[in-house]
Structure 1
Amino acid sequence: MTGFASGTGETAPFSWGWELRSVNAKGLDLRLRVPDWIDGLEVGLRTALTRALGRGSVSLSLKLAREETAGAMALNAGVLSSALEAMRQIEEVAMAAGVSLTPATAAEVLAIKGVVETRATEDDTAALRTALLADFETVLAQFLKMRADEGRALHVILTRQVDHISDLVAQAQAATAARREEMERALRTALDKVLANVAEMDEARLAQELALIVVKTDITEELDRLNAHVAAARALLGETGPVGRKLDFLMQEFNREANTLCSKSQNADLTRIGLELKTVIDQMREQVQNVE
C-alpha cells in the first residue's frame, strides 16, 4: 500500500504542484491539503481516490500559486470620488490663497493609491477546478503504477512463502508417521509397567485414558486445516481485487494451527517443523500488511 507520486501543471495565471503518498493502514484514510476556495475540488479529489484505492493512509497536498500581475484592472469608484473631492477642496484653498495649481492629469489621478485595483479572477473557479482534476488523473495514474509494481513484487514474495508453508506441512505429515510408531512404543512400554504393578484395571477407564492421549496428540485436523489455508491463500493471490484484509485474517488462522501443532507435537522433528512454520507465517503476515 506504500506509494508516492508528484507532478506539476499550469493554466494561466495559475501554476501548481502535487504530492501524493501513502503508507500502510487497515482501512482507507484520506488526508487532503488543498485550497478550500476552489468549489468542488476536494470532493472531486476524494471521489477519485476512493474509487481507485481500497486501503492505506493516503496524504495529498496541492500547492497553488498565481502570478502577481495577473488579474483585471478596475477603478474603485469610491476611492476615485474621494480623491477628486479632495483635489477640488485643495484647489479651492489654493485659489483663496492666491496660489495657482497645475491641473492634474488622468495618469496622476490613476496613480493615487487605491483608485485602480487589480482584481483576482477567483470568483468563477470552475475552469481552474476542471484543469486541476484533469491534471490529477496523471498524478494518480503514476501513483497507482508504483503501487502496482510493488504489488507484483509482493505477489512473488507471498507466493514463495505460501509454497514454503505447503512444503513444511508436507514435512509435518511425513514426520507424523514416524512419530506415531515412536509414540506407540512409548505408550506400550508405559502400559506394560502399569499393568505389571496393578492387580486389577478398569478396562473402561483405561480405554478412556488411551482415547484422551490419542486426541491430545493427534494433529491430523491441524494439518488438514493448514492445507486448506494454503489453498485459500493461493486463491486470494490469484484474485485481482483488494485481498489484504482477507489475507490478514488468514494469517491469524495459519498462526493458530501452527501453535496447536507445536503444543501437540511431542516429537523433536515435528517441533522443529512447527517452529519454522511459525517463523514463515510471521514473515508472511508482515508482508500482508503491505497488500491492499
Structure 2
Amino acid sequence: MICSMTGYAVKTRDLERGTLQLELKSVNSRYLDFHFRVAEDLRAMEMPLRELLAKRLNRGKVECRLNFNATAARGEQLQINVDLLDALSALGAQVRSRLPDAAPLSVNEALRWPGMFGEQGVDFAALGPVVLALANEVLDEFTASRGREGAKLAQTIVDRVGAMRRIVSDVAPRIPEAQALFTEKLRQRLLEALGNASDDRILQEVAVFATRIDVAEELSRLTTHLDEVERVLKAGGACGKRLDFLMQELNREANTLASKSAITEVSQAAMELKLLIEQMREQIQNLE
C-alpha cells in the first residue's frame, strides 16, 4: 500500500476512573519526526508509543497526543487534592506579587493540573497495556486514512504519466519529417550564404546540425523513466524518495529536449512535459 504522509485518527477509551484519549496526526517531512504531547501522569508511555509508531511508519512529522480525563467512579464523587490546590494558590499569589500583570490560573487549568485528583487512586502504571491497545486501534485507523489518501495521490500520478506518454507518442512520429524540412531549409540558406562552397561542405555542416537537434535518445529515456515510475507505483510501499529521484531524471530529459529543440513541435512538447512533471512532483512530496 502506498501511503500519504498526511493522516489523522483519534479514539477514546472509557475506564472506571476516567477517559483515555489518543490522537494521531501527521504532515509532510523528509524524515520520520515525532512530537509527543502526553499527560504528565502517563509520561512513562512515551517511549513504548514511540517504538510502536516507528514500527508502522516510515516518514512524516507525526504528532501524538495522549490525555487522561479523570471522572468519578460509579456512586463516587471526585475529590480534589486540596493540599495541591492550596499550594497552587499560594504560588500564584507569590508570582503576582512580583508580576502584577500575570494572569491567574483558570478553573479549567487548575482542574487539569497533574495530581489534582490524585486521591482518587488511579493506578497510571497499570494503564500501560490499555494505552498500547488503544494506540494499536488508533494506528490502524491512522494508517488506513494515510492509505486512502496515498491511493488517490498514486492515481493522480498515473494519470499524469499517461498524459506524458500521449505527448511523446504524438510528437515522436512527426519529428523526423519536421527535422528533415528544417535541415533542408538550413541547407538552402547555407548555399545562399556560402555561394561557391562545395556541396560536401554544406552537407557536412547540415549533418552535424541534424545530429545536435536529434531528440530520439531523450524521448527513449523519457519512456524508460515513465516505465520505472509505473513499476514503483505498482510495487507500493514507502516509495516517495524513489519517485522524487525519478522526477529529477524526467525533468533532466525534458530540459535537454527543450535545449535541443529546433522545431516548434518539440518545444511545445517539452513545455507540456515539464508542466506535468512539476504537477507529479507536488503530489509525490506528500507520499511516504
Same fold (TM over 0.5): yes
Q: What is the identity, as a one-letter code, of the residue corresponding to 2:231?
A: A
Q: What is the identity, as a one-letter code, of the residue corresponding to 1:196?
A: G
Residues 1:3 and 1:228: Cα distance change in structure 2 (over 3 Å): same
Check conservation: 1:39, 1:126, Cα contact below 8 A.
Answer: no
Query: For residues 179 and 264 of structure 2, what CA distance do their matches in structure 1 show?
Result: 13
Pick the aligned partner of 2:60 from 56, 60, 66. Answer: 56
Query: Are positions 1:244 and 2:240 aligned together?
Result: yes
Query: For residues 195 and 284 of structure 1, what CA distance do their matches in structure 2 show?
Result: 48
Query: Are positions 1:214 and 2:218 aligned together?
Result: no
Q: What is the identity, as a one-letter code, of the residue corresponding to 1:156?
A: Q
Query: For residues 282 and 191 of structure 1, what CA distance do their matches in structure 2 show?
Result: 40
Check conservation: 2:183, 2:206, Cα contact below 8 A.
Answer: no
Query: For residues 152 and 202 of structure 1, what CA distance do their matches in structure 2 show?
Result: 59
Larger CA deviation: 11-20 vs 54-63: 11-20
User: Which residue is 2:150 aligned to?
Assistant: 151
Pick the aligned partner of 2:71 from 67, 74, 95. Answer: 67
Check conservation: 2:187, 2:206, Cα contact below 8 A.
Answer: no
User: Which residue is 1:113 aligned to?
Assistant: none
User: Which residue is 1:160 aligned to?
Assistant: 159
Residues 1:279 and 1:48: Cα distance change in structure 2 (over 3 Å): same
User: Which residue is 1:139 aligned to?
Assistant: 138
Counterparts of 1:1-292 in structure 2, within 5 Å, are 1-38=5-42, 40-67=44-71, 119=119, 121=121, 125-198=124-197, 207=204, 209-210=205-206, 212-292=208-288
Deviation at 1:213, TM superposition (A): 1.9
Q: Which runs of 5+ in 1 are unaligned?
A: 72-116
Larger CA deviation: 133-142 vs 27-36: 27-36
Deviation at 1:277, TM superposition (A): 0.9
Residues 1:213 and 1:156: Cα distance change in structure 2 (over 3 Å): same
Query: For residues 235 and 8 of structure 2, what CA distance do their matches in structure 1 show?
Result: 24
The SS at the match of 2:195 is helix
In angstroms, what is the RMSD of aligned CA positions?
2.6
User: Which residue is 1:107 aligned to?
Assistant: none
Query: For residues 62 and 180 of structure 1, what CA distance do their matches in structure 2 show?
Result: 66
Query: For residues 24 and 181 of structure 1, what CA distance do their matches in structure 2 show?
Result: 49
Deviation at 1:11, TM superposition (A): 2.4
Deviation at 1:40, TM superposition (A): 4.1
Check conservation: 1:22, 1:56, Cα contact below 8 A.
Answer: yes
Q: What is the identity, as a one-letter code, of the residue corresponding to 1:189?
A: Q
Residues 1:27 and 1:255: Cα distance change in structure 2 (over 3 Å): same
Deviation at 1:161, TM superposition (A): 0.9
Deviation at 1:17, TM superposition (A): 1.7
The SS at the match of 2:63 is strand
Larger CA deviation: 4-13 vs 221-230: 4-13
Residues 1:40 and 1:291: Cα distance change in structure 2 (over 3 Å): same
Query: For residues 174 and 286 of structure 1, what CA distance do their matches in structure 2 show?
Result: 31
- TM-score normalised per structure 1: 0.75
Deviation at 1:193, TM superposition (A): 2.2
Deviation at 1:197, TM superposition (A): 4.3
The SS at the match of 2:235 is coil
Count of equivalent residues: 244
Query: For residues 285 and 164 of structure 2, what CA distance do their matches in structure 1 show?
Result: 18
Check conservation: 1:175, 1:270, Cα contact below 8 A.
Answer: no
Q: What is the identity, as a one-letter code, of the residue corresponding to 1:229?
A: H
Deviation at 1:196, TM superposition (A): 1.6
Larger Rg: 1
Q: What is the identity, as a one-letter code, of the residue corresponding to 1:148?
A: G
Query: For residues 211 and 273 of structure 1, what CA distance do their matches in structure 2 show?
Result: 24
Residues 1:25 and 1:175: Cα distance change in structure 2 (over 3 Å): farther
Deviations 1:5-28 (A, max 9, x none): 111113222312222111122221
Q: Which has the higher contact order (CA 8 A, sep 6+)?
A: 2
Query: For residues 200 and 273 of structure 2, what CA distance do their matches in structure 1 show?
Result: 41
Check conservation: 1:18, 1:60, Cα contact below 8 A.
Answer: yes
Query: For residues 10 and 152 of structure 2, what CA distance do their matches in structure 1 show?
Result: 22
Q: Which runs of 5+ in 2 are unaligned?
A: 80-116
Q: What is the identity, as a one-letter code, of the residue corresponding to 1:61?
A: R
